[in-house]
Amino acid sequence: MYSILALFLHGIIIGFAATLILDIWALVAKRAYDAAPANWGLAGRWFAHMRTGVYRHNNIADAIPVRGERMIGWIMHYLVGIVYGIMVEAIWFFQNATYPTLAAPFLIGLLLATCAAWFVMQPGMGLGFAARKTPDPLRMRLRTIVNHIVFSFALYVSAIALYDYLA
């Protein structure tokens, strides 16, 4: 068993690494099948408008631009990934796990992250629940699922790499 401080440090490392792997995957997907990359500027705009109490937009592209919104989006992207990494570590911590298992990364990385995208972020940005207001909702839903499967595996692989490094 290790300390709460170690839980947070490991979660930060795992979440950051998994988010980086997801971003590398996005570059590969763009080249392999011309998948449009995430627009972190619009995500940053959405997050930035929250400080004024606006959590939902009809269309985030029509919202007033915010200075530094792209940087805000990238920072929030990594912070959310880190929070998910900490959550995975917390599950293992409270299970007294001695080595990473697949269940926690898929619970957090696929189930929770997909639900957050479909039922919080996409509606908040004006895309509707599960991207139903987009031109091709099925494609957006599948892309969300594939990206979060990649993120789940990235959480797992990052954890294994960290645990093996620390062993």
CA distance 34 to 26: 10
Confidence of residue 167 (pLDDT cuts 50, 70, 90): confident
Nearest by Cα to 18 from 95, 128, 110, 127 = 110
Domain range for 160 is 4-166
On whether the CB atoms of residues 46 and 64 are closer than 8 A, the answer is no
Number of domains in the chain: 1
Confidence of residue 54 (pLDDT cuts 50, 70, 90): very high
Confidence of residue 98 (pLDDT cuts 50, 70, 90): confident
CA distance 123 to 96: 37
- Which value, in Å, is the radius of gyration of the alpha carbons in the chain? 17
Q: What is the mean pLDDT of residues 3-17?
A: 96
